[in-house]
Amino acid sequence: MSQLGRVKQWNTFARCWHLFDAAWQNPLECAPSIEKYLKGLNKPIYHPLVDCGDHVVVINSKQIAFPGEEWRRRVYFHHTGYSGGATWTPAWELHDRDPTMIFRKAVYHHMKGNLFRRVVMERLHIYSDSNVPEEVIENITNQIPPLRSIPKTLGSYSKEEIEKYPKIIDYPEDFILSKN
Amino acid sequence: MLTLRRATRVLQVLNTTQKCEQSFHRWLGPTLRELKRRKDSQGPEKPAHRKTFLEWNYDTEIYAFSKRLGEEFNNDLLQQALTERSYIIREEERQKNVGIEQPTLNLSDNKELVSKGSDFIDDIVKRYLRTVLPRLPEEGIIGIHKHLTSIQTLSHVSFHIGTSDLILCADFPVEKLTLSNVLKSIIAALIESSGNSRAALFVRDFIITQLADKDLHQFWEPDEPIKLLSEILARDGIQSPEPRLIGCSGKNTILACFRVGLYTPDDKQMIGLGFGETVDIAHEMAARDSLRKLFGTSDNILLPFNLKLDQLCASSARNLSVTEWSQKTIPAHPSHFELRQAKEICSN
């Protein structure tokens, strides 16, 4: 192979690193788009037997969101292998124990089970908050857009913003809005 | 060797077949196994020349060979082209051994034809390369020419047009040097039979087309591309290009990939792009890339193979050497694209 052919090959199969912010995102909805990058489905060179997947760094997995009653109703099953060893852990409890587990399981279960699944999962790096090691941050070259926009919570408004907000009526002076 | 035990077993099996009627041949497996064992014990079969077969007719084969190539050959010349000196010597010795004191063979060897064909191939290949790659330095032309006329390439071509069975030589299987020599002599025979232009087409179709789909710079790699590039640009009055890191992925990993672009300091134009596992390699590849662009040998060029003898440049023409190469002094040759267009207009 000529010198140019070698570096061409290297460039074609270079692994990119993507960043994904999981705050306020539903992990079950995110799984397909994360899987796309992990397996390299978005690349023209993709083939099931070609190792062309990218790395994905997921941050803020502690702040994932589930719709409705999902935190209480969704149950994760585990069996120790011994008789009577079955346990059913609700999602909120599992999330308390390990904030990265629900996201990891969501991606893992979305993928088709084959010998490559665990290899592909090794390229998924999940962090519960935004404290990511510097050497991992330096690798990142792309950001995966969040599926849902993050709503602004009432508590995040500053005092000035609240005062500037247009009012319909003026409350009487002795009217108590909140105890704070 | 057939052991006694094995033989008795086969005999036993044979006896049983005669006694009771089986629905299948019980002797077949053991017999085949025994035959296979005997064959294996003899070692691999020695290759035999096609002429040792019964229905070998050399004259017919030579005639068919020339017709397969689609060329008009003088039969005696073709016969001479396929005859090596070693064959004549061996045949004469054989006759002497039999007792003939003055052996007479009406054969002449291809020594003269080889040198004539060799000169012709050298000339055509160089002229073709200089015509289609007018911007490539002479060193590059010589490198590509060396590859095309190497024993490796010529013997490959010669073997695949089917000369190996027709060559009269002492060595069997035929050596690569012999194969390439015979190809040269066949071309010389073609010159004398059908003329120069026909032979030039033969060289083009069988030898020059070996370049298709190959990276031209693998035959000639400048040792220090960065230094060479800045020297060449300096001759045109351009300052040495500034490298910029324009992309990297996974920089802390073992699979890191960097992309480096070379920019001219004055008008900020990108003149080359390279990539590689380290920044230094990417920088070097970027310099090589800009050299490719200057020399008109990018990896995506299409060489026009449809040139005839009268479209090639003169034998005396030379490309510029690397040491004096500059864009100002490059002569105005037609580019590949223009050549292609010219061909299309002619054909219409």
Using H for helix, E for strand and C for coil, what is the string for B248-295?
EECCCCCCCEEEEEEECCCCCCEEEEEEECCHHHHHHHHHHHHHHHHH
Please give the residue of chain B at the shortest CA–CA distance from A14: B257
The string of DSSP letters for B59-105 reads: HHHHHHHHHHHT----HHHHHHHTB-HHHHHHHHHHHHHHT-SS---
Nearest Cα residue in chain B from A3 = B218
Chain B nearest CA to A74, separation (Å)? 37
Of A152-161, B298-307, B329-338, give the lowest mean pLDDT range.
B329-338
Nearest CB among A13, A14, A135 relative to B252 is that of A135
B19 pLDDT exceeds 80? no
Phi, psi of B143 (to 5 degrees): -60, -45
A116 DSSP 8-state letter: T
Tokens, residue B157: 């071509």
Which residues from chain A sit within 8 angstroms of residue B274, using beta carbons?
7
Encoded amino acid at A174, one letter: D
Roughly how many angstroms between the first and final C-alpha of chain A, as a whole number? 73
Report d(CA A102, CA B199) in Å as an integer. 75
pLDDT at B321 over 70: yes
Query: Quick check: B62 and B75 in contact, CB under 8 A?
Result: yes
Q: Do A17 and B255 touch (CB under 8 A)?
A: no
The whole-number pLDDT of residue B348 equals: 46
C-alpha B290 chain-centroid distance:
28
Is residue B87 a contact partner of residue B178, using CB atoms and an 8 Å limit? no
Determine whether the interchain pair B250/A4 forms a contact, defined as Cβ–Cβ distance below 8 Å: no
Where does the pLDDT of residue B105 fall: very low under 50, low under 70, confident under 90, or very high at 90 and above?
confident
Q: Which residue of A has its CA nearest to B278?
A: A7
Provide ipTM, 2 decimals.
0.83
Which residues on neighbouring strands pair with residue B259, listed in sequence order?
B247, B275
| For range B117-121, the mean pLDDT | 97
Mutate to test the interface with A, among B213, B248, B275, B280 (most CBs of A within 10 A): B275
Task: Measure CB to CB from residue A2 to each of B217, B250, B274 and give the nearest one.
Answer: B217
* Whole-number average pLDDT of chain A: 94
In this prediction, residue A126 carries a pLDDT of: 98
Residue range B41-74, pLDDT digits in tens = 999 988 888 889 999 999 999 999 999 999 999 9
H and E: helices and strands count for chain B: 13, 3
Contact (Cβ atoms closer than 8 angstroms) between residue B187 and residue B208 = no
| Two structure tokens written together for A116 | 């490559």
Q: Please answer whether residues B91 and B103 qualify as being in contact, where contact means their C-beta atoms are separated by less than 8 angstroms.
A: yes
Q: Name the minimum distance, in Å, from the CA of A80 to any CA of chain B.
A: 37
Instruction: Inspect the interface and report whether the beta carbons of A2 and B277 lie closer than 8 Å.
Output: no
What residue of B is the nearest CA neighbor of A9?
A: B276
Map residue B303 onto helix, strand or coil: coil
| Nearest Cα to Cα of residue B153 among B192, B184, B185, B128 | B184
Among A26, A35, A13, A37, smallest CA distance to A142 is for A37
Which residue type sits at B55? E
Of A2, A5, A15, the CB nearest to B255: A15
Whole-number Å distance between alpha carbons of A127 and A104: 10
DSSP-based three-state secondary structure for B205: helix
Residues of A near B (Cβ–Cβ under 8 Å) read 2-5, 7-8, 10-11, 13-17, 55, 135-136, 138-139, 141
Where does the pLDDT of residue A87 fall: very low under 50, low under 70, confident under 90, or very high at 90 and above? very high
Closest CA–CA distance from residue A57 to any residue of chain B (Å): 12
Across B199-222, average pLDDT? 93
Q: Which of A4, A9, A139 to mutate to test the interface with B (most CBs of B within 10 A)?
A: A4
> Which residue, among A1, A6, A7, would best test binding to B if mutated, counting the most B CBs under 10 Å from its CB?
A7
Helix (H, G, I), strand (E, B) or coil at A17: strand
Q: Is B257 on the interface with A (CB under 8 A)?
A: yes
Token pair, residue B52, equals 């040792």
Strand partners, B244: B261
Contacts of A15 in chain B (CB under 8 A): 249-250, 253, 255
Q: What are the tokens at B67?
A: 């017709």
Task: Please report the beta strands in chain A, taking only residues with DSSP state E, as ranges in sequence order.
Answer: 17-21, 55-59, 75-79, 86-90, 124-126, 142-143
Test B249 with A5 for CB contact under 8 angstroms.
no
Q: Which residue of A has its CA nearest to B256?
A: A14
A18, A50, A51, A127, B167 from A54: Cα distances, Å: 8, 12, 9, 17, 57
Closest by Cβ to B281, choosing from A7, A8, A138: A7
pLDDT above 90: residue B99: no
Closest CA to B342 of B304, B313, B287: B304
Residue with tokens 């990276």: B215
Per-residue confidence band for B9, with pLDDT thresholds at 50, 70 and 90? low
The pLDDT assigned to B344 comes to 56
Query: Is the pLDDT reported for residue A4 higher than 50?
Result: yes
